[in-house]
Amino acid sequence: MAADPLSTTFAALADPTRRAILARLSSGEASVGELAEPFDISLPAVTKHLKVLQRAGLISQGREAQWRPCRLEARPMRDAVAWMESYRHHWEQRFDRLNEYLKSIHTPEPARKGVRRGRRKK
């Protein structure tokens, strides 16, 4: 597996358990046992997920003798967000145009007959 760093990051994010682990670690470091707790899966399964996250550089594990806490590493996530954001304004534009179009086909023409003003939908 000689994937580029960005591909490795996205591949690591492509799993709900791994994303939940990252979410947990975003509020502070935790041991493997603590990370496994909320999930209904075996410790080896969690360890496997942690290895994928570690290979992607998304987490690191301390070397303290007894509990080896896992912690989040910000850089790969920042790079992934940076890639997405570099095209963001194009996506937003497309989305805005779509919204405008949908509005235009669903909104009646400007009131031109002096109709009584009632409650309006937002």
The tokens of 37 are what?
Answer: 């707790």
The pattern of x and - marking residues 32 through 71 that bind a second copy according to CB under 8 A reads ---------------------------------------x
Residues 6-25 that bind a second copy (CB under 8 A): 6-11, 13-16, 19, 22-23
Distance CA 38, CA 11 (A): 23
Does residue 102 touch a second copy according to CB under 8 A?
Answer: no
Does residue 92 touch a second copy according to CB under 8 A?
Answer: yes
DSSP assignment of 30-88 equals B-HHHHHTTSSS-HHHHHHHHHHHHHTTSEEE---SS---EEE-HHHHHHHHHHHHHTH
> What is the binding site for a second copy (CB under 8 A)?
3-4, 6-11, 13-16, 19, 22-23, 26-27, 71-72, 74-75, 77-78, 80-81, 83-85, 87-88, 90-92, 94-95, 98
